[in-house]
Structure 1
């Protein structure tokens, strides 16, 4: 039986003897020609050794950066024959070469970024496509296991195509063969590829509503129950200002520093139902149904013996309209909020948890390729070799790179900061030359609000009107930048009292003012 001679893939032997890709971190804009030039000579390869990606996170994991941080990462590889003398592999034998970027799942197993039929399925276990050594292309995978007997192969192909995951394609990163003169000078078959650390691709799969590993946040868990207001836990709760008429002013009263705790808790109840669970929206019916069995007693009036009752769901709907939506009403505050029975409380918790899952799906949206905070990734190179004599085409894999994380966009990477020159506000001649460069179309309601009393606006008492004219207000962008810079410094001074940001976020160094050229 004919067999291929062994072929190896790994870091360029002039840099290291390693079956893993050699990862570079470069900050120069024209990094690709510089890298190819350095591959030609011994001195250049020494520079490439110094440019190896070495940054680590707090856990000691390799850290790569994003282009917004003005850092770029290249993977360098070489292919050679594992025979006497270890000669370079003839590039004409390579049908295709590439990298796969895989995520390490919570169970430690690698996951691939999968697509099929023009749809992006996101991160899926590699077991779905046959394991870590399976060909990324479904067409190539379907050739595996063929017997050469037409009838049998047709049945095998039909069986393979009937499998739900047979069309999954793992996303790949192209590896490019270095120019012939570079390979000739180095005496090696060299490949390079740009390592992506950002992506605009969004998975079509909904993001799962799940707590952190090891944390129970189900409807019966203590963590879920304890974050709820007492009334939503099914427990008794005191109500503020019992027997009084609820008014829209209660919302502002609850925000005062000396606000009654019962009033603050009641407003929190309404806010939690409205914002967290959308109980008063289109999907809130199950929550209101779970509350409908609870009767709230009203304060006894003069001469009354039997207390009047109001259903909890109806009361909360009306209270939401008055307090949060600021609508007029004659709604009366009940005397107390009684405890619910065990079964009724569990039904309420189940309805709240289900509503939270729906709310999460609506606001969380779809997950991007690199959106998982702290996720670890690996690169793995492959070459697809052309048929050799009686030997069929085959795919050859190198070893996976060491695990790495991708730095958040706001982290510093050591690159010098971008400088923005601000105009001198004291230079009257310069300010006269700054013409408006952006215009805002201001609707009548906003213009009337801004035209009113500044003090009332700051106190939250500004009034707007839909009657009037639409205005077009033009500004100069550098002036807007100066205003933003002044406001930034004011707030930095305030926040520095609490967070101590100033010494790490603001570094000011004096330098002589450059006189204008004559």
Structure 2
């Protein structure tokens, strides 16, 4: 599981913790302290107004098929990923509204020997790269620690920006204080692997499409808080989402997805404030 790059509070700020959104925890009968509550939650919709529907009520979505194959927009299936952010401190309190950080997510691809991330260099090269548990690229030959630092700087993981659900969209007072973030899940891309700069000690995935119907994927979310002065930012990662597959453009979404059942709303009770 990716780890936070800093665990030291700065200027009175606690590190951040990314957790499964509260309504999915209710469905699973767990709380945010449970080890299983570290995964982003992928939600399915059958209309194009995904953002509006998440903002209106993030608890409302459609059930994803049991085989966890995400169908394409051409089949009227659209997907969002949702994560909730807390302070990584005793009790996991909610962040101060004045705390400045951004949230994004990355799609990872499973392979027999580990996972891969879609990365780019500074010269137009891009492709799937083997990564370690912290998302750092792994070289295809032995290198020194100094060369590993250079490799980390040479390749950048492609991430997708997430948006915070506006606090005035919540349906009860307690929920209006939550830090809930969502992003649109890509299920298709024109991109394919191209060669990295020759000085970069990774092979990449030249000629392979970014997404295909044979691979298994998962999503990890990242919160990033600017560092003071010229210091690098602090980054905090969620655990991985449930793995999923992608349907082809020709696959018909013949299922009739049922709405997710709204969990009892515990947010307006004293015990869950």
TM-score by length of 1: 0.38
Q: CA deviation at 1:200?
A: 1.1
Q: How does 1:454-469 map to 2 (within 5 A)?
A: none
Contact 1:94–1:383 under 8 Å retained in 2: no
Q: CA deviation at 1:401?
A: 0.8
The match for 2:208 is 367
Cα deviation code 1:189-230 (max 9, x no counterpart): 010000000011121149xxxxxxxxxxxxxxxxxxxxxxxx
**188, 201, 220: which one pairs with 2:191?**
201
Which sections of structure 2, spanning at least 5 residues, go unmatched?
1-6, 26-30, 32-36, 138-144, 197-205, 257-273
Q: How does 1:50-61 map to 2 (within 5 A)?
A: 51-53=62-64, 55-57=65-67
The match for 1:31 is 50
Q: How does 1:82-121 map to 2 (within 5 A)?
A: 82-90=88-96, 92-107=98-113, 109-121=114-126
Contact 2:193–2:208 under 8 Å retained in 1: yes
Alignment coverage as a number of residue pairs: 216
The match for 1:133 is 134
Distance 1:205 1:161 in 2: 19
Q: CA deviation at 1:103?
A: 0.4
Distance 1:35 1:100 in 2: 20
Distance 1:9 1:115 in 2: 26
Q: How does 1:116-195 map to 2 (within 5 A)?
A: 116-126=121-131, 131-134=132-135, 163=150, 166-182=153-169, 185=173, 186=175, 187-195=177-185
Contact 2:86–2:179 under 8 Å retained in 1: yes
| Higher fraction of helix | 1
Contact 1:64–1:406 under 8 Å retained in 2: yes
Distance 1:392 1:166, change over 3 A: closer
Distance 1:133 1:81 in 2: 20
Structure of greater Rg: 1
Greater relative contact order, per chain length (Cα 8 Å cut-off, separation 6+): 2
**74, 83, 103: which one pairs with 1:77?**
83
1:404 matched to 2:244 = yes
Show structure 1 runs of 4+ deviating over 6 A.
Answer: none
Contact 1:21–1:75 under 8 Å retained in 2: yes
Distance 1:121 1:392 in 2: 24
CA RMSD of aligned residues (A): 3.1
DSSP-derived class of the 1:33 partner: helix
Q: CA deviation at 1:3?
A: 2.6
Q: CA deviation at 1:406?
A: 0.5
Distance 2:69 2:115 in 1: 18
Q: How does 1:297-446 map to 2 (within 5 A)?
A: 366-371=207-212, 373-387=213-227, 393-414=233-254
Q: CA deviation at 1:102?
A: 0.6
Q: CA deviation at 1:387?
A: 4.0
Cα deviation code 1:435-469 (max 9, x no counterpart): xxxxxxxxxxxxxxxxxxxxxxxxxxxxxxxxxxx
Q: CA deviation at 1:413?
A: 1.1
Contact 2:94–2:179 under 8 Å retained in 1: yes
Distance 1:72 1:392, change over 3 A: same
1:19 matched to 2:41 = no
| Higher fraction of strand | 2
Distance 2:48 2:155 in 1: 36
Distance 1:374 1:91 in 2: 42
Q: CA deviation at 1:121?
A: 2.6
Distance 1:132 1:112 in 2: 11
Distance 1:69 1:116, change over 3 A: same
1:7 matched to 2:16 = yes
Q: CA deviation at 1:15?
A: 2.9
Contact 1:70–1:415 under 8 Å retained in 2: no
Contact 2:70–2:245 under 8 Å retained in 1: yes
